Structure 1
Amino acid sequence: MNRHQKEAAVGNLAYEFSEAEAVYAVDYRGLTVAQISELRARLLQNDTKLKVVKNSVTKLAAEKAEVTSINDELSGPTALAFVRGDAAASAKILSGFVKESDNKLELKGGLLNGKPLSTDDVVAIAKLPTREVLIGQLVGLIASPISGTARTLAALLSAVPRQLQQVADQGLVGGGAAAPAAEAPAAEAAEAPAEEPTAEAPAEADAEAAPADAASDTDSTEE
C-alpha cells in the first residue's frame, strides 16, 4: 500500500468511525475465510460493515475521528464491525457467532456513541432486547388502553338496544305512552258533577227566603 492508498484507507475508516452508532472489535484469527464471509453477510443485514484492516491504519483513522480509546483493543488480528443499525442486534449476531464457531471468534470490546466498551459491555448489550422488540413493546403499551376503551364502548353500544327494549316492555315508550292520554277525558268527565251545586244555589236561597217571608207575615198578623 503506497502513501496515497494509505491516506485514502485512513480517510475511509475515519468516516466509518464518525458515522457508526457503535463499533465492535473482534479477534478473527480462528475463523476460516468462509466463516468470515458468512459473518460479514449476517452483519450487513443489520446495516453493519465488518472490516479487516491493519492495526496501524486503524489507529491513524481513530486518531483522525477522535476516538482513540479503540486503540486499546488493537492487539493481534482485529476486525471492526461498524454498526449503523441496531447496536443490540449486531452484538447478538457477534455473540451468537462466538458460540457457533466454538469460540474461534473472540469479542474484544469497542465503542458506543464514542464511549469505550469492554468485552463484558458488548456481552451485556447482546442480551438487551433489539430495537424492533422494544418498539413492539411500546406499541403494545400504547394500544392497550385504546383497545380497552374500544371494548368498553362496544359493550356500552351493545347494551343500548337491550335497555331500549326493556323500556318499551314497561310501556314507557312507544304505544304504551298513549294510554294515560286517552284516560284523561274520562277522569275529567267523572269530576264534572262536582260543579252542579253551583246551579242549585238559587233554589236553596229561595227556600231560605220563604221562611223569612213567612215570619214577616206572622209578625204583621200578630200586630
Structure 2
Amino acid sequence: MNRDQKATAVAEIAEQIKESEAVFAIDYRGITVAQVAELRGKLREADATFRVVKNTLTERAADKADAEALKALLEGPTALTFVRGDAAAAAKAIADFQKSTGGELLPFKGGLMNGDALDAAQITAISKLPSRQVLYGQLVGVVASPITGLARSLNGLVSGLAIALGGVLEKKESGEVPAGAAPAAAASDNPEAEAEAGGTETEPSEGSDDTTETPQED
C-alpha cells in the first residue's frame, strides 16, 4: 500500500468512526474468510460493517476523528465493527457468533458509543439488551394500552345511552309515558305553596308599593 492509498484508507476509517453511533474493537485471530463473510451478513441487518485494518492506520484515523479512546485498544490483530444502526443488535450478532464457536473467536476488546469509551464487559451487556425493533414494539404496546381502554369505556357509555333512550321510546309508544308530558309535581303539605303552584294571582292592597327593584350593575 503506497502513501496515497494509506492516506485514502485513513480518511475512510476516520469518516466511518465519525458516522458511527458505536464502534467495537474485536480480536479477529483464528477467524476464517468464510466466517467473516457470514458475520458481515448478520451485521448488515443492524446497519453495521466489519472491517479488518492495520493498527497504524487506525491510530491515525482515530486522531483524525478525535477518537482517542480507540487507540488504547489497538494492540494485536484488531478488527473494527462500525455501527450506524442498532448497537444492541450488532453486539448481539457478534456475541452469538462467539457462543457458536465456544467463545474462542472474536472476543471484544472495547469500543466507543456516542463518543464514550466502552470496555469489553459493557459491550457484552449491550448485546443482552432488546433490539431497537423489540423496544419499539414494547413502546407501541404501552402507548396503545390506555387508548384501547379509553375506546372500550367510550363504547360502553355510548351503548348504555342507546339502551336508555330505547327504553324511553318504548314507554312513549306504549303510552306509559305521554309524549311531551311534564313530570307530575309532588303534592305539598303547604297550602300557600299549593296556591302558588296553582298560579293564583293577588292584587296588591291599596297603599302598597307594587314596584319592583331593578338590580344595579356591579
**By the TM > 0.5 criterion, same fold?**
yes
Aligned AA (1:174): E
Work out whether 1:52 is the aligned partner of 2:52: yes
Q: Which residue is equivalent to 1:121?
A: 122
Unaligned ranges ≥5, structure 1:
182-223
Q: Which residue is equivalent to 2:102?
A: 102
Task: Detail structure 1 runs of 4+ shifted over 6 Å in the superposition.
Answer: none
Task: After superposing the two structures, state which structure 1 stretch, 148-157 or 1-10, moved more.
Answer: 148-157
- Structure 2 CA distance, aligned partners of 1:72 and 1:179? 90
What's the offset of the Cα at 1:179? Answer: 8.3
CA 1:26–1:180: 2 relative to 1, 3 Å = closer
Q: Which residue is equivalent to 1:6?
A: 6
What's the offset of the Cα at 1:101? Answer: 1.7
What whole-Å deviation, never above 9, does each CA across 1:27-85 have from its counterpart, x for those lacking one?
11121110011101111111101100011111110011010211111111111000000
Number of matched pairs: 179
Specify the SS of the correspondent of 1:34. Answer: helix
Q: Which has the higher helix share?
A: 1
CA 1:180–1:124: 2 relative to 1, 3 Å = closer
The residue correspondences of 1:50-89 to structure 2 (distance < 5 A) are 50-89=50-89
Q: Which residue is equivalent to 1:174?
A: 173
TM-score normalized by structure 2? 0.77
Q: Which residue is equivalent to 2:134?
A: 133
CA 1:180–1:163: 2 relative to 1, 3 Å = closer
Larger-gyration structure (1/2)? 1
Specify the SS of the correspondent of 1:30. Answer: coil
What's the offset of the Cα at 1:164? Answer: 2.6
- Structure 2 CA distance, aligned partners of 1:147 and 1:20? 38
Identity of aligned residues (%): 50
- Structure 1 CA distance, aligned partners of 2:107 and 2:166? 74
What whole-Å deviation, never above 9, does each CA across 1:179-206 have from its counterpart, x for those lacking one?
897xxxxxxxxxxxxxxxxxxxxxxxxx
Unaligned ranges ≥5, structure 2:
182-218
The residue correspondences of 1:142-157 to structure 2 (distance < 5 A) are 142-157=143-158
Specify the SS of the correspondent of 2:72. Answer: helix
